[in-house]
Amino acid sequence: MASQNINVGTAANQGDGESLRSAFIDIRKMFAEVYNQTYTGDTQDLSGTSLAIKESQLSVTNSAVDNYILSYDSASGGFTWVEQFDGDITSVVAGDGMTGGATTDDATLNVVGGDGITVSADEVEATVDDSTIELSATNGSGALRVKDLGVTTAKIANDNVTHDKLEGRYTALETITTTSGTINLDAATYAAFNLTGTLTTATLNIQNIKKGQVIDILLSGTLSSAAITLADDFTTSTINKVGSTALDTSKTNLIQVLCIDDNDSAAILTYAVADYAVNTTV
C-alpha cells in the first residue's frame, strides 16, 4: 500500500481539513502494513507486535536472500541488502610445511625452515652438501639456480641423468636434403647430421659447437662429383684433419668433428673421414 496523505487543511481550525476519524483511519492502515497486519475494516483490532518491513517498501539494489541483512546507506539515503556471515574464524592451524597459527585475532603463518633451509620474503634457500640452491624473485629472476658462494658446486646423484634429459646437441639427429651451397649444421641442436641428397659442391658450416663436443656427419647420399668443404662460425679458427683417409665419393662416408677449443678468436677443430658399408658381421 502506498503512504496515505492526511489533509490537515489550510490553517488551524478552518474546517477544510480531513476529519479526525478519517485521518486516524489512514494512520491505522499504514501502521497495519508496518506491523504486517491484514487490514479488513476500520473497527478491526490491530494487534501486531513486530515490525515487518517488506522489500517492496524499500529502495534496494538487490533482492533479499539467505545470509543478507538490510543496511542503511547514508550517502544514498536508502537501504541495501548486505551479505553477512555466520561467524568469525575462531582459529588458524598451520598445515604441512608451515608454522604458526592463532586462535584469536590475526594469524601469522611461516614457511618451515628446517635443516639447511632459509626462508625470507620472496626467497627460499637450501644448503645441500656445502652448496646453496635458491629460488628468488629478485636475485635470479625467480629461477632456480645454484648460488655463487665460492664453494663446492651442486651435485647430481649418480645415474640420475637419463638420455631424455640431455639437450639436442648430444642426442638429436637432423636429416638434410639440401645438396649444394652452404649447408648449416647447428651443433647446439643436433649431435648427428644425415645428408641424404646428391651432393655436388657444398660447404658444411658447423655452428655453435662447444669444446669437447663431437658431431657426426653422415654422407649417405650420392657423392659422385661432390666437392665438400668444412667451415665454422668462429671469428678465427683452425680445422685440422686426423688420419690419411680421404673422402671416397663412391662410398658412404662418415665425417667426425671434434672441437678442441671454442675460443672465438682461436678455435680449433679436428676431423676424420671414414667410409663404411652396411654389414652385420664384425
Please tell me the distance from the alpha carbon of residue 176 to that of residue 144, in angstroms, as a whole number: 37
Q: Are 35 and 29 in contact (CB under 8 A)?
A: no
Residues 201 and 141 in one domain: no
Instruction: State the pLDDT at residue 105.
Output: 75
Residue 152, domain member (yes or no): no
Residues 47 and 108 in one domain: no
Residues 268 and 193 in one domain: yes
Q: How many residues does the chain have?
A: 282
Residues 128 and 199 in one domain: no
Residues 125 and 185 in one domain: no
Residues 116 and 195 in one domain: no
**How far from 111 is each of 93, 96, 114, CA to CA, in Å?**
13, 9, 9
Residue 200, domain member (yes or no): yes
Instruction: State the pLDDT at residue 99.
Output: 80
Residues 123 and 35 in one domain: no
Residue 81, domain member (yes or no): no
Residue 4, domain member (yes or no): yes
Please tell me the distance from the alpha carbon of residue 255 to that of residue 243, in angstroms, as a whole number: 12
Residue 157, domain member (yes or no): no
Cα–Cα nearest to 257, from 204, 195, 202, 198:
204
Please tell me the distance from the alpha carbon of residue 275 to that of residue 282, in angstroms, as a whole number: 15
Name the residue with cell 536508502.
78
Instruction: State the pLDDT at residue 93.
Output: 81
> Where does the chain have alpha helices with state H?
20-34, 168-171
Instruction: State the pLDDT at residue 135.
Output: 64
Residues 175 and 127 in one domain: no
End-of-domain residue from the set 35, 52, 69: 52
Range of the domain at 217: 164-276
Weakly modelled stretches of the chain, pLDDT under 70: 1-2, 50-67, 77-78, 85-88, 113-114, 121-122, 128-157, 279-282
DSSP 167-204: -HHHH-EEEE---SEEEEEETTT-SEEEE-S---EEEE
**How far from 254 is each of 179, 214, 276, CA to CA, in Å?**
16, 13, 8
Residues 136 and 175 in one domain: no
- Convert the pLDDT of each residue in 107-162 to its tens digit: 788 777 667 777 776 677 777 666 666 666 655 455 555 555 444 445 566 777 88
Domain count, the chain: 3
Residue 159, domain member (yes or no): no
pTM: 0.50
